[in-house]
Amino acid sequence: MKKLVALLTALIMVLSCTAALAGEIVYVATNPEYPPFESVADDGMTIVGYDVDLFDAIAKKAGFEYEFEPMEFAAVVNAVATKPNTVGLSGISITEERKLSVNFSLPYINAGVAVIVKADSTIATLEDLQGKIIGVQTGTTSDFEAEKITGIDNVARYSTFQFAVNELQGNKIDAVFVDKPVGEAILAQLNDPSLVMLDLEIVADWYGIAINKNDVELQQKIDAAITELQNEGFFEELAVKYFGGGEADAE
Cα–Cα dist 19/98, whole Å: 34
Cα–Cα dist 3/177, whole Å: 68
> Which pLDDT score is estimated for 251?
54
> Which pLDDT score is estimated for 234?
97
> Which pLDDT score is estimated for 6?
36
Cα–Cα dist 250/248, whole Å: 6
Q: What is the largest CA-CA distance in the chain?
A: 88
Write the single-letter amino acid at 130: Q
Closest CA to 105 of 87, 82, 80: 87
> Which pLDDT score is estimated for 23?
53
Whole-structure pTM value: 0.73
What the chain holds in terms of domains, given with CATH numbers, is 2-109+207-250 (3.40.190.10), 112-198 (3.40.190.10)
> Which pLDDT score is estimated for 181?
87
Task: Name every residue whose Cβ is closer than 8 Å to that of residue 99 and which is 6 or more positions away in sequence.
Answer: none
* Tens of each residue's pLDDT in the chain, 251 residues: 333 333 333 333 333 333 333 457 999 999 999 889 999 999 999 999 999 999 999 999 999 999 999 999 999 999 999 999 999 999 999 999 999 999 999 999 988 899 999 999 999 999 999 999 999 999 888 999 999 999 999 999 999 999 999 999 999 999 999 988 889 889 988 999 999 999 998 988 899 999 999 999 999 999 999 999 999 999 999 988 988 754 455 55
> Which pLDDT score is estimated for 197?
96
> Which pLDDT score is estimated for 15?
30
What does each C-alpha distance from 85 to 38, 64, 89, 105 come to in angstroms? 20, 11, 13, 14
> Which pLDDT score is estimated for 245?
54
